[in-house]
């Protein structure tokens, strides 16, 4: 009899254990979901979300760019709101109000927020030495170094202007070789702009046909494309799988190329002849080493430098190139704007010399067009991400520690409460009534604002003005026969770029 009862008793016991395990698993899942999607008390309002998926389905259904959707939600929920953008992750705070953004990014609030780490990037590299992604005191020191180095290398001075105008002559020659035929403007623009940051960072420029420059730009384009990154930031380990094989290959080439250039600089380094930012960074680290706070001048020095130099190369190439390509896209759609720019160039500069930075104050219309292009299509629609470092109150809401903060620059520069008819291209909004002076707008922030605003803002402004005026002085850009006007929709990569731009450049 005992044997007959043992089997049912065992089955009953096993079933109880399984029920307990199932209950424990369910409870664990429930607690995880509750932690992720339980709304912290007094968080800013935001759109309703799906369990686990958050607001991701609404973003996909919209068919619009992320910055456009967030701007629409901001009009409903306010200049500070909370959203769940990434599946299986907690909320983020989105700021679309210029006043709130300037408050958060001021030095008085620096203890509240700092640069956030990107999970996918953390899985790929050590962010030490990054101008873009560094946080805390090391980031402050690196920024001070960067600003000082740019000044010493001529930003805001005649020496840099000469370098840009020299590169503009190479660019004009390359475009002239097309002899009015339709061609893709993307590559020559990227070549020219990249050579400016290469000369500042590496100490030399590349010939436009140099295979290394071609591969650098191709790798940069692949690495900066967006798509599977949202999956990688949710599951960072995927970076090391075949899914990211092409991106890993391109990133490794960029890294290895920069490291080789740094090592060549170390071999030929002369403290009495600092040629570029790499030399200046080596000198900076050597000085700190002598003071007892450096990292050494062997392999540690290379590790300390390479990512920052790659930051400068990538950001210095993509942002200015994007702005110039958007500018030409807009004048293709509005050819009367190109005519007015060319008339102003003719009146101020003429045709016998290249434009100069000294001409800028006398060319308000050209500057207004550039500003309007940057307002409508900024190279960076968001700042780089931030994270809160402590709990604080903001506009009556409680912002918890450890929450992501997204600053929507595009929303601020296209806010109908701030700008009249923001969806329309109206350069005169930046001009006085008589058209002779520029008007400054508080909400015009294409380079961000505050303590982490764009490090290369001065360089970018000079490049855009000189490249643009050199091009419009020598060419009239037209659409190829039968081609429709640019849609001006754009592509979101690391920067916000126009679609492929095929043009005819008619020599003037």
What is residue 46's three-state secondary structure?
Answer: coil
Q: Which residues pair with 80 in a beta bridge?
A: 95
CB neighbour list of residue 45: distance below 8 Å, 6 or more residues apart: 77, 78, 81, 82
In the numeric block, which tokens belong to residue 335?
Answer: 């050819």
* Cβ(142)–Cβ(129) below 8 Å: yes
What is residue 128's three-state secondary structure?
Answer: coil
In the numeric block, which tokens belong to residue 329?
Answer: 């896209």
- Residue 492 annotated as lining a ligand binding site: no
Q: Within 13 A of 215's CA, how many CA atoms are on the CB side?
A: 13
Q: What are phi and psi of 351, to 5 degrees?
A: -125, 0
Whole-number Å distance between alpha carbons of 48 and 203: 52
Instruction: For helices 299-333 and 335-348, give the axis angle rounded to 10 degrees.
Output: 110
CB neighbour list of residue 391: distance below 8 Å, 6 or more residues apart: 398, 399, 400, 401
Q: Please choose, from the candidates 139, 449, 158, 460, the residue with its C-alpha nearest in 3D space to the C-alpha of residue 317.
A: 460
What is the CB neighbour count within 10 angstroms for residue 187?
A: 15
In the numeric block, which tokens belong to residue 425?
Answer: 């291209």
Q: What are phi and psi of 491, to 5 degrees?
A: -125, 130
Query: Which residues does the annotation place in the binding site for heme?
Result: 454
Query: Which residues does the annotation place in the binding site?
Result: 454
């Amino acid at each position: 009899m005992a044997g007959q009862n043992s089997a049912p008793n065992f089955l009953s016991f096993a079933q109880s254990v399984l029920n307990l395990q199932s209950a424990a698993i369910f409870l664990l899942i429930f607690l995880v979901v509750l932690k992720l999607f339980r709304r912290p008390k007094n968080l800013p309002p935001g759109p309703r979300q799906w369990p686990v998926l958050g607001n991701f389905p609404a973003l996909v259904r919209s068919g619009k760019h992320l910055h456009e959707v967030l701007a629409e939600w901001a009009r409903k929920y306010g200049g500070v709101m909370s959203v769940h953008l990434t599946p299986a992750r907690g909320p983020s705070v989105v700021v679309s109000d210029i006043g709130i953004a300037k408050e958060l990014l001021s030095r008085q609030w620096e203890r509240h927020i700092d640069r956030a780490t990107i999970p996918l990037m953390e899985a790929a590299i050590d962010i030490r030495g990054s101008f873009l992604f560094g946080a805390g005191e090391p980031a402050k020191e690196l920024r001070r170094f960067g600003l000082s180095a740019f000044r010493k290398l001529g930003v805001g001075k005649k020496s840099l202007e000469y370098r840009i105008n020299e590169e503009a002559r190479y660019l004009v020659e390359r475009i002239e070789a097309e002899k009015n035929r339709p061609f893709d403007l993307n590559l020559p623009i990227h070549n020219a702009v990249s050579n400016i940051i290469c000369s500042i960072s590496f100490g030399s420029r590349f010939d436009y046909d140099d295979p290394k420059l071609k591969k650098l730009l191709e790798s940069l384009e692949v690495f900066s494309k967006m798509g599977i990154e949202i999956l990688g930031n949710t599951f960072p380990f995927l970076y090391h799988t075949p899914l990211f094989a092409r991106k890993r290959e391109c990133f490794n080439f960029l890294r290895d190329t920069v490291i080789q250039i740094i090592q060549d600089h170390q071999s030929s380094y002369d403290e009495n002849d600092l040629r570029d930012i790499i030399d200046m960074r080596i000198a900076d680290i050597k000085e700190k080493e002598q003071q007892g706070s450096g990292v050494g001048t062997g392999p540690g020095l290379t590790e300390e430098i390479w990512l920052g130099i790659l930051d400068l190369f990538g950001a210095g190439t993509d942002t200015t190139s994007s702005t110039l390509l958007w500018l030409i896209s807009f004048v293709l759609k509005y050819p009367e704007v190109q005519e007015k720019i060319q008339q102003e160039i003719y009146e101020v500069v003429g045709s016998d010399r290249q434009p100069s930075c000294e001409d800028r104050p006398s060319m308000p219309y050209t500057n207004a067009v550039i500003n309007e292009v940057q307002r409508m299509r900024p190279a960076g629609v968001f700042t780089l991400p931030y994270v809160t470092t402590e709990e604080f109150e903001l506009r009556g809401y409680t912002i918890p520690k450890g929450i992501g903060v997204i600053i929507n620059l595009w929303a601020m520069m296209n806010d109908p409460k701030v700008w009249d008819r923001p969806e329309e291209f109206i350069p005169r909004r930046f001009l006085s009534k008589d058209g002779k002076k520029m008007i400054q707008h508080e909400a015009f922030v294409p380079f961000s604002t505050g303590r982490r605003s764009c490090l290369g803002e001065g360089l970018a402004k000079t490049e855009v003005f000189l490249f643009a005026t050199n091009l419009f002085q020598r060419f009239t850009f037209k659409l190829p026969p039968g081609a429709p006007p640019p849609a001006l929709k754009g592509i979101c990569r690391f920067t916000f770029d126009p679609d492929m731009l095929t043009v005819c450049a008619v020599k003037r």
